[in-house]
Amino acid sequence: MRDLRRRDPDQKYYDPEIETMPRAELEELQLGKLQDELKFAYEHSPYYKRAWDAAGVKPEDIKTLKDLERIPFTNKQTERDCQGVGSFFGELCCVPEEEVVYMATSSGSTGVPTMSPFTQDDFDDFQHAQSRLFWQTGMRRNDRYLHGMNFALYVGGPDVIGAQELGALGIWVGAVPSARLLWAMKQYQPTFMWSSPSYAWLLGQKAIEQGYDPKKDFGSFKTFIISGEPGGSISTTRKAIEDLWGVSVYDFFGLSDIYGACAGMCEYKDGLHIIEDQILVEVVDPNTGEVLPEGEKGELTYTTLSKRARPTIRFRSGDIGWIDKTPCKCGRTHTRIHVSGRKDEMFIVSAVNVFPSDIEHVVRNEKGLTGEYRIRVYDKNYTTKYEVSVERAFGSDEPYDQIAKRVEGALKTHTGVRPAKVIVYDTGKLGVSAEHKAKRFIDERKHNN
C-alpha cells in the first residue's frame, strides 16, 4: 500500500492501465471476473444456489456478458429476507463470519436496515476504488480532506481512508452540527470536503448568518464532493453551491450494498464514471425487467465482480437512470451513469414522467429564490397533481403572485407539465432545511405509479 503514495502528482490517472483500457479488453476482464464471482456465489451462498437452480441456470452457462440476463435479480427485499437466516449475516453471505472485518448498513428509510459485510480484501478493494475516484477530482498528497459524512454504520464513513491511501490528510469530522463543522473548516483550512448537497448548501447559509463570506473566509477550499441525494447531478444545484463557496463541485454515487462511492464525476462532469473493473451495470425496464439498450432510461442494476463477503448479483437499485459507454473527453473508457432519481419518487402527470430532480433544477435556476423547495404530489379526481412550495430570497420585494407565476411558467417549460399550484414563502419559512438530509418530497398518492 505504501508505495501507492509515491504516484506522481502530475499523473492524470490513478490506475492508467485500468482507467483507459480499450472497451473490448475491459469487457473481457469483466467477463473473467464475473464468471469467477458467479461460481463463488453459487458455491458459497445457499440463496444464490437455490434461486439459480430454480431458474435453471448455472454459473458455467454464462459465456458472455449478455448471458448475465439469465441470472435472477435481487433487491433490498432479497437482502432483508436472507439476513440472519442460518447465520448472522445470512444466506447471501459467502464467507464465515470470522472473515468479515467490516459492515455497513442501509439507512433503513424503506424498512429494516440491511447489513453489508466486507472481508479485508473487499475493504481494501473498496478503499482503492475510493482513492481512484478522489484522484479523478484532483485530490493529491498535499490536500487536506475534511470528511463531512456520517460515520455511524454508514458505508460512506470509511471513504476517508481512501483519501489517506492516496496520501491526502484525512480530517475525520463526520456529520456534526453545523457550528462545529464551520469551526473545523476555519481552524484546519481544508482544501476538499465531502457532504450531502443539502448540507453543503445549508452550511453556506449558516456561515453567511454568522457574518462570514464563505468564498473569502473559507478560501482554502478548492473542491466539494457531494452525494447521497440527486442534487449533485443537477447542474443548477452544483452551480449554486459552486457560486456560494467558490469551489468546483463533483458528484459521487454510492450504495450501502456495494461501496461508499461506486461512481464519480471527472472534470467534464457529464455523468459519473463507474468503476467498471469492479462493478458491472445494466439498465432494465422497471416493470418487465427486460435489459434496455445503452442510452435508454430504466432501473440501474448492479453486479459486483470481486466482492467475496456478499457478492451483489443483478441488484435492482430502485434508481432510474441511463448509461453512456461512448468515450469521455477525459480519456477514461469506463461507462458513465446518469441518475434521474428514485423509482418510487417518480410521478406521472398527464402521461409525463417527472422526478423531484426536474423540479429542483428549475427552483435552483430561477432568480430571487433561496433555492429551498418542497413538492407535494397527490391524487384528485383520479389524476395525479403536483404542487411546489418555494422561498423568496432575502431582501427581495417581488410580489408573491408574480414569483408564483414565473416559477409555474418555468416548471411547465422544463418538465412539460404545469403544477397545480406554486406557493411562495418568505426566507427560512418553509422549514425544510435539515442538517445532512432534507425532506422535500411529500407523497400523498393513493397508489404509487
- What residues line the site for Zn ion (CB under 5 A)? 266, 328, 330, 332
Distance CA 337, CA 332 (A): 13
Q: What is 146-178 written as a DSSP string?
A: EE-S--SS-TTTTHHHHHHHTTPEEEE--S--H
List, in order, residues 6 or more apart from 392 with CB less than 8 Å away: 368, 369, 370, 398, 400, 403, 424, 425, 426, 427
Which class for 298: exposed (0-12), middle (13-18), buried (19 or more C-beta within 10 A)?
Answer: buried
Write phi, then psi, for 225 (nearest 5 degrees).
-110, 135
Closer Cβ to Zn ion, 203 or 266, answer by number: 266
Q: Is 410 helix (H, G, I), strand (E, B) or coil?
A: helix
* Min dist. Cβ of residue 330 to Zn ion (A): 3
Query: To the nearest whole angstrom, how small is the minimum distance from the Cβ of residue 328 to Zn ion?
Result: 3
Cβ 366 to Zn ion shortest distance, Å:
30
332 vs 343 by CB, closer to Zn ion: 332
Nearer to Zn ion by Cβ, of 71 and 279: the residue is 279
18 or 202, CB closer to Zn ion? Answer: 18
Q: Are 169 and 145 in contact (CB under 8 A)?
A: yes
Choice between 266 and 346, CB closer to Zn ion: 266
Nearest approach in angstroms of CB 321 to Zn ion is 17
Contacts of 252 (CB under 8 A, 6+ apart): 133, 194, 225, 226, 227, 232, 261, 263, 264, 265, 272
Burial class (CB in 10 A: 0-12, 13-18, 19+), 339: buried
Shortest reach from residue 421's CB to Zn ion, in Å: 41
- Nearest-approach distance from CB 249 to Zn ion, in angstroms: 16
Q: Which is nearer to Zn ion, 314 or 332 (CB)?
A: 332
Direct distance between the N- and C-terminal alpha carbons of the chain, in angstroms, rounded to an integer: 49
How long is the chain? 449
For the chain, what is the largest distance between any 2 Cα atoms, rounded to a whole number of angstroms? 69
Place of cell 500500500: 1
Q: How far is the CB of 319 from Zn ion (least distance, A)?
A: 20
* Interatomic CA distance for residues 424 and 289, integer angstroms: 41
Nearer to Zn ion, 163 or 330 (CB): 330
Nearer to Zn ion, 301 or 335 (CB): 335
For residues 299 and 283, is the Cβ–Cβ distance under 8 A? yes
Minimum CB–partner distance for residue 135 and Zn ion (Å): 13
Query: Looking at beta carbons only, is 241 or 266 nearer to Zn ion?
Result: 266
Q: Which residues contact 44 (CB under 8 A, 6 or more apart)?
A: 94, 95
Burial of 189 per CB tally in 10 Å (0-12, 13-18, 19+): middle
What is the closest distance, in whole angstroms, from the C-beta atom of residue 88 to Zn ion in the complex?
A: 40
Residue 204 · residue 212 · CB < 8 Å: no
Q: What is the C-alpha to C-alpha distance for residues 319 and 339, in angstroms, rounded to an integer? A: 7
Which residue number, 310 or 332, has a Cβ lying nearer to Zn ion? 332
Rounded least distance, CB 13 to Zn ion, Å: 10
